[in-house]
Amino acid sequence: MSLPPPPGYYVPAVLFFDDNEELDVPAIQAHVLRLARGGVTGILVQGSNGEAQHLSHEERKAAITLTRQTLNDNGFGNVFVIAGTGAQSTRETIKLCVDAKDAGASHVLVLTPSTWAPAMNLDNTLRFHREVADASPVPTMIYNFPVVTAGIDLDSDTISALALHPNIVGAKLSCGQIGKLHRLSSTFPTSEFAVFAGRSDFFIPGLICGSAGVIGATVNVLPGLHGRLTTLYKEGKLTEAMELQAKLGHADWALQKLGGIAGVKAIVSKHFGYGLPTVRGPLKTIAIASLADNKHTKTLEELIELEKSL
């Protein structure tokens, strides 16, 4: 039986581009290293924050390779690399899984196809994920994110059925449904099927319910604070943990209000000194100057100051 990635906090890393929308290799490397030094358990390349759907196959493979090599070359060989491999056909998804293994990923995260959302009934959904898992050379995980799959939201019964497959080893729940997370984590041991919160705003509630941790966008900005939160929870300091959890919940919301992926890049560029806030269309790049005098920016800046003090 295949094994899931270990419990911890993972980051769906943003991918930096230059002014010509080409991969900005130095900025990508700088980001990978800051995250690794922040203690992340693993880096998800081409999650939704990595603009996977905006990349060619060659670019997707290059980004995974660059992440794995950067970690290995700088003493972070223990940091996992997971690759998002969702595509709109079973055939292409399988190819991306093969590419991901060749590029150095240990696991892949698979979105449910959604171009033909009405056709994705229970039978087709189960068949898709099982056929991908049958053919994937690395263990697969289910990525449930209704916002980017035309509203398709896999329920706990569907995910439980898929969890029985020997090569499907976990799920990322960006749907934010704590009840679903609790049902799954109380049904399957984390050592066999790891269920991760898909947002930082329910990281600790998820752990209390037995989750394996979090794979959340806010880790791009605040990796150290997620590590601090993990430590507080493990030490049984729940009151302190919940105080920090509340702050991360506000940070999650602030990043959404600042423009999601573009907002993450702008904040990182402004406060950590690398990369441009460039995103590929149809997303809209956010000017760093526009962050000034914004209440959501101020929320993040207070936490960034705390991050830098760790």
What distance in Å separates the CA atoms of residue 298 and residue 280, rounded to the nearest whole number? 26
* Greatest CA separation for the chain: 53
Indicate the SS3 state at residue 6: coil
- Catalytic annotation on 298? no
Dig out the tokens for 197 from the structure.
Answer: 């919160």
Query: Which residue, chain included where needed, has tokens 């990525």?
Result: 143
- Residue 103 has a CB neighbour count (10 Å cut-off) of 20
Is 143 designated active site? yes
What is residue 189's three-state secondary structure? Answer: coil
Going by C-beta distance under 8 Å and a sequence separation of 6 or more, which residues neighbour residue 164? none
CB atoms within 10 A of CB 20: 7
Is 215 annotated in a binding site? The answer is yes
Cis peptide before 189 (omega within 30 of 0): no
- Catalytic, out of 9, 10, 61, 143: 143
3-state percent breakdown (helix, strand, coil) of the chain, nearest 5:
50, 15, 35
In the block, tokens 């830098």 appear at: 308
Look at strands 140-144 and 168-173 and give their pairing: parallel
Kindly report the number of other CB atoms within 10 A of residue 140's CB atom.
26
- E strand segments, the chain: 8-12, 42-45, 80-84, 107-111, 140-144, 168-173, 194-197, 213-215
Calpha distance 209→184 (Å, rounded): 10
Q: Which two tokens stand for residue 175?
A: 């749907």
The catalytically annotated residue of 61, 172, 180, 270 is 172
Task: Copy the structure tokens of residue 110.
Answer: 């698979």
Active site residues: 143, 172
Could you tell me which residues are annotated as the binding site for pyruvate? 215
Residues making up the annotated binding site are 215
